[in-house]
Amino acid sequence: MQPYEVTSPTDARKDFFTLLEKVAQNHQVYIINRRDGENVALIAESDLRSLVESVYLLRSPKNANRLFDAIEESKTGKIKPQTVAELQQELGIEQEEKKEA
């Protein structure tokens, strides 16, 4: 399966709201081919935010290596899974209580 679907501006316009639902609900990316300009991608905001965050985290080779090493360690069982509360306690971070309005 391709990571994206390709459509024309005419078809995108004709079924615009259906297209938006597919993008939002199924996380399907659509490339809209433009005859006289650069093609445009239609992508869910959450997917775009995830991509931008991944690029940010991986842009430094040193940080990327640390992340990949941590993933490998977690796969081999060297690292014990922790809850957020356990990690906060281990690091000495106090969790702020949510104030009710």
* pLDDT tens profile 35-92: 999 999 999 999 999 999 999 999 999 999 999 998 888 888 877 788 899 888 888 8
CA 22/CA 58 separation, integer angstroms: 29
Question: Residue 52 belongs to what domain range?
Answer: 47-91
Same domain, 55 and 86: yes
- The total number of structural domains in the chain stands at 2
In this structure, is residue 98 part of a structural domain?
no
- Is 51 found in the same domain as 40? no
* Residue type for position 44: A
List C-alpha distances in Å: 92 to 55, 84, 88, 98: 29, 12, 6, 19
**Do 21 and 39 share a structural domain?**
yes
| Whether residue 12 is found in the same domain as residue 39 | yes
Domain match, 56 and 26 both: no
Tokens encoding 45 = 């905001």
Per-residue model confidence (pLDDT) at position 19: 96
Nearest Cα to Cα of residue 5 among 36, 27, 35, 38 = 27
> Which tokens go with 64?
């990327």
